[in-house]
Amino acid sequence: MRRTKFARTLVVGSALVMVGLAYAVLVPDGAAGADGPQSQQIEEGRKLFAVGCSSCHGAHAEGGTDGEGHITGPSLIGVGAAAVDFQVSTGRMPAAQTGAQVPQKPRVYTPEETAALAAYIASLAPGPAIPAEEAYDVSKATQEEVVRGGELFRTNCTACHNFSGRGGALPNGRYAPSLMETTPKNMYQAMLTGPQQMPVFSDGVFTPEDKRAVIAYLVSLQQSEDPGGFGLGRLGPVSEGLWGWLLGIGALVGVAVWIGAKTPRVKRDEQGPKG
């Protein structure tokens, strides 16, 4: 009797501890909804912007021009957090020099700094927000979704990005990049914000379901790019060839040993009765 009571108390007690731990782990710090942390983030973003972006985009992101009236950077009022996250996480911004097109490069800002910059721009005027992970998580996408995404891609995107998504040249030294390395999040954000020559595929025209389908299709293309085919350590043909070679040679050696071991005995046996 006493023991079962004690065991029950133990079970209930440890269950409570587990719930407490799960709560502490799952509920993020800022969940209290207080204004404090957020305005602090905006303030941090404003400072980062003043140092790294205002020289081209203006002191208050209103857009900037050089001494001769050429635009050094467009106004960012209303471009939204998604545009900032896309541009900064792909390393396009801060732009290094002005050319036909601002290229991708290794990102300069950490994810926290990027979030602060995005929060600052979003605080100036409403614009497309950074999508929630559910919007672009296609790990559970169905085959129909992939097929539909392929149709949408061929209708809306191949003119610039090529049938295989590997990109292509555009007039005046510009280009549509390959999409084989792009993350699902940035696929979504590119459609949402239309960087440079790319049109905006706003949610009204191209629904979130359409975007998800296209992302599911592009991710399936990226996965089928795996050069090894069987994913042998993702080393591609080299590792596959090596395995083929080892197995093949191994089999040959095995056969040779087998023949070597077998033949003399058979001969001896055959010779036996005769001799």
Give contact residues for ligand HEC (rule: CB under 6 A). 52-53, 55-57, 72-74, 76, 79, 83-84, 87-88, 90, 92-95, 98, 101-102, 104, 117, 156-157, 159-161, 170, 174, 176-177, 179, 182, 186-187, 190-191, 193, 195-199, 201, 214
Contact 149, 213 (CB under 8 A): yes
Q: How crowded is residue 235: how many other Cβ atoms within 10 Å of its Cβ?
A: 14
Minimum distance of ligand HEC from residue 47's CB (angstroms): 12
Task: For residue 102, give both structure tokens.
Answer: 């601002």
DSSP state, residue 12: H
Q: How crowded is residue 102: how many other Cβ atoms within 10 Å of its Cβ?
A: 18
Cβ closest to ligand HEC, residue 34 vs residue 132? 132
Task: For residue 125, give both structure tokens.
Answer: 């005027």
Cβ closest to ligand HEC, residue 166 vs residue 239? 166
Minimum distance of ligand HEC from residue 36's CB (angstroms): 24
Query: What's the Cα-to-Cα distance from 163 to each of 109, 140, 217, 218, rounded to whole Å?
Result: 33, 24, 12, 11
HSE toward the beta carbon, residue 27, CA cutoff 13 A = 9
Cβ closest to ligand HEC, residue 147 vs residue 170? 170
Minimum distance of ligand HEC from residue 253's CB (angstroms): 48
Minimum distance of ligand HEC from residue 13's CB (angstroms): 50
Minimum distance of ligand HEC from residue 30's CB (angstroms): 22
Cβ closest to ligand HEC, residue 140 vs residue 222? 222
The full DSSP string for 241-257 is: HHHHHHHHHHHHHHHHH
Cβ closest to ligand HEC, residue 84 vs residue 119? 84
